[in-house]
Amino acid sequence: MRQSGGLDAIERITLAHELDHALTDQALGLPKDPTALLASDAQMAASGLVEGDATVTMVVYGLGVGRGAVTAPPDAGALGGPTAAALPSFLRDQLVFPYFDGSIFVNTLRGRGGWHRVDTAYRTLPTTTAQILFQPLPARRGGGGARRARAPAAPLAARPRPDLRAAALMWLFSAPGGRRSRSLDDARGQRGRLGRRHPDPLTSGPRSALGLALVQRRGSRGLCSSVATWYRRAFPDAARPPAGRASA
C-alpha cells in the first residue's frame, strides 16, 4: 500500500537493498564488478557476499525486526520474477544464487558474530562458491582447498576454460537436461564431493567435444556414479557415458 506522497512497501524495501550497497561501498568498499556472474567462480562468490548482505538487510527492514535473526532466506522461486522464470534452469539458478544462497551465507555469519562478522568478510572475500554453499564453513580461504584436475587426454585440440566449481555442479545436478523433474537426490548436498572441475572444450575443424576431468574431495564417495546418473538423465537417448575413476 502506497503512503500518501511516499513510497509503497516494495519500493521501500528495494531502496533498503540499494542503500545497503551504497553504504557498504562507502564504509568497506565493494569488490570490483561483483555482479559479473559469468566471469569466474571467484566473482560469483564475491557477488554472493554483496547481494546476500543487501538481501538480508532488506528482509530485516521489511520484517521490522531490527537486529533479530532472519530465520529463512527469501523464496528462491520468487527471486528474479517472470523474466527469471522464463530462463533455462541453469541460467535461472545462476541469477538467483547471489541473493538466495548469498543470504544464507550472510545470515550464518551474522549468527556467529553479528554484522561485525559480515563486515570482516569484505576484508577477506570468499574466493569460491563452495565457501558460500558449505555450511558450517570450514577454513577454505585462498581457493577453498580445491585441487586442480589434469586435462583429459583427447585427439582434439584443447582450449582450457576456467574451472567449474561447487555452484555450477549443483545447478547441473538440480536439473539434468534443464528439467527439474530429473534432479538427482540431494543435488545441493552432492556438491561437497568435488574438489575441482576442469572442463576443456575440444575442437578439430567442425568437430567438437567436451572433456571433463573431475577430482573427488578426500573422504567423499560416489562422484563417478553421480556424474553418470546426471548424464543418463540429461541425455536419455545418448550412448552410455564412458567410465572413469575417482582421484582422492
- Kindly give the residue spans of alpha helices, DSSP state H, lying in 28-160: 41-63, 81-85, 89-123, 129-133
82 and 174 part of one domain? no
138 lies in some domain: no
Q: Write the CB contacts of 20 (distance below 8 Å, at least 6 apart in sequence).
A: 53, 54, 57, 58
Q: Give ∠ CA 179-56-142 in degrees, rounded to 5.
A: 75
* Tens of pLDDT, residue by residue, the chain (248 residues): 455 567 888 888 889 999 999 999 999 998 876 555 456 888 889 999 999 999 999 998 888 744 445 555 555 555 656 666 778 888 888 889 999 999 999 999 999 999 999 999 999 999 888 889 886 544 444 344 445 555 555 544 444 455 567 888 888 888 888 888 888 887 665 554 555 555 666 677 777 766 666 677 666 677 778 888 888 898 888 776 555 554 43
175 and 80 part of one domain? no
Q: Which domain holds residue 209?
A: 157-234
75 lies in some domain: yes
33 lies in some domain: yes
Amino acid 173: pLDDT = 87
- DSSP conformational letter for 222: -
CA proximity to 174, closest of 83, 239, 77: 77
